[in-house]
């Protein structure tokens, strides 16, 4: 599986592009560790990080997950952010769809932003891309219905799954980002995958150093999206 993921590349339909404007019981969500964060003035901005093991911090120490790293960066930028980690290792898009409304309903209030990242386990399990698309679209419909802005973190299909599957799977994230006015990060592992120091020995999950690289890329997207009121956010 490590070899499979290390071989990830754009294939089939060519490179997926971002939208023009924005180049059992469910597990309880948990706040990102904030021990190293300095206090920040201003109203709290609540961010929900909803995904799989790449969000949950698989194989990492407390405080090293992607939501933790994003919270630190947002606070360093002067945004009084609390990032809630609702990553569940092994989750497919179908599992995420089942627990999304439960998670939202059990937050203290409606979040100012959701960072959504599911589908990688679908690809590894060779779940039909149409099912992944439908599940992600349903989750985005829920978030649209609650007027919650979204940053969508994408995944790419492994070339050994064939060009037809790659064409169908790789188009999911840019298509849905355009349709739902979500800000898109096309490939969550960009900058970490294929670099041994940035990945755990399994070759699938980022190391603590890899998380920092990913967070460096994602944090500005969150900063910009948090600056847009939900009702007035545009892709322009």
Distance CA(200)–CA(204), nearest Å, equals: 7
Q: Strands 30-31, 81-87: parallel, antiparallel or unpaired by DSSP?
A: antiparallel
Q: What is the phi/psi pair of residue 11, to 5°? A: -150, 170
H runs (alpha helix) in 77-113: 93-105
What pLDDT, on the 0 to 100 scale, is given for residue 19? 36
8 A C-beta contact, residue 198 and residue 210: yes
What are 83's strand-pairing partners?
47
Tokens of 217: 């890329």
Q: How many angstroms separate the CA atoms of 85 and 43, rounded?
A: 20
pLDDT at 212: 98
Closest CA to 62 of 208, 218, 188: 208
- Shortest CA distance to 103 belongs to which of 43, 147, 143? 143
Query: Does some domain include residue 24?
Result: no
Q: Which residue's entry shows tokens 């194989």?
A: 59
Residues 41-65: b if buried by 16+ CB within 10 A, e if exposed: eeeebbbbbbbbbbbbbbbbeebbb
Point out the residues that are catalytic: 53, 202, 205
Tens of pLDDT along the chain (236 residues)? Answer: 444 444 444 444 644 333 333 333 444 454 554 444 567 888 999 999 999 999 999 999 999 999 999 999 999 999 999 999 999 999 999 999 999 999 999 999 999 999 999 999 999 999 999 999 999 999 999 999 999 999 999 999 988 999 999 999 999 999 999 999 999 999 999 999 999 999 999 999 999 999 999 999 999 999 999 985 443 333 33
In contact, 44 and 83? CB cutoff 8 Å: no
Q: Which domain holds residue 186?
A: 2-13+40-228
Q: Is 26 inside a domain boundary?
A: no
3-state secondary structure of 228: coil
Token duo for residue 87:
């990553």
The reply to whether 129 falls in a domain is: yes
Task: Tell me whether residue 233 is in a domain.
Answer: no
**Tally of structural domains, the chain:** 1
What per-residue confidence (pLDDT) applies to 32?
52
Q: Is residue 126 part of a domain?
A: yes
Q: Is residue 234 part of a domain?
A: no
Residue 30 inside a domain? The answer is: no
Tell me, yes or no, whether 29 lies in a domain: no
Q: Which helix (H) or strand (E) holds 225?
A: helix 208-226
Amino acid 133: pLDDT: 98
Q: What confidence score (pLDDT) does residue 37 get?
A: 52
CATH code for position 100: 3.40.50.1110
The pLDDT score that the predictor gives to residue 13 is 64
Closest to 157 (Cα-Cα) out of 174, 172, 175 = 172
């Amino acid at each position: 599986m490590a070899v499979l993921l290390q071989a990830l590349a754009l294939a089939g339909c060519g490179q997926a592009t971002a939208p023009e404007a924005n180049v059992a019981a469910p597990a309880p969500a948990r706040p990102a560790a904030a021990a190293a964060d300095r206090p920040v003035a201003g109203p709290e901005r609540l961010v929900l990080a909803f995904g799989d093991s790449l969000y949950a911090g698989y194989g990492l120490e407390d405080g090293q997950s992607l939501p933790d790293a994003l919270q630190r960066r947002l606070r360093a930028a002067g945004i009084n952010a609390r990032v809630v980690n609702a990553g569940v290792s092994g989750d497919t898009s179908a599992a995420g769809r089942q627990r999304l409304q439960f998670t939202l309903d059990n937050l203290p209030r409606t979040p100012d932003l959701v960072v959504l990242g599911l589908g990688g386990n679908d690809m590894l399990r060779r779940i039909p891309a149409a099912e992944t698309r439908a599940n992600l679209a349903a989750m985005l419909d829920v978030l649209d219905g609650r007027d919650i802005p979204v940053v969508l973190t994408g995944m790419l299909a492994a070339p050994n799954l064939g060009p037809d599957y790659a064409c169908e799977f790789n188009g999911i994230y840019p298509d849905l980002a355009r349709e739902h006015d979500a800000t898109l990060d096309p490939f969550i592992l960009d900058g970490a995958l294929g670099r041994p120091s940035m990945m755990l020995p399994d070759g699938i999950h980022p190391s603590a150093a890899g998380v920092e690289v990913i967070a460096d890329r994602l944090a500005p997207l969150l900063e910009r999206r948090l600056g847009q009121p939900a009702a007035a956010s545009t892709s322009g």
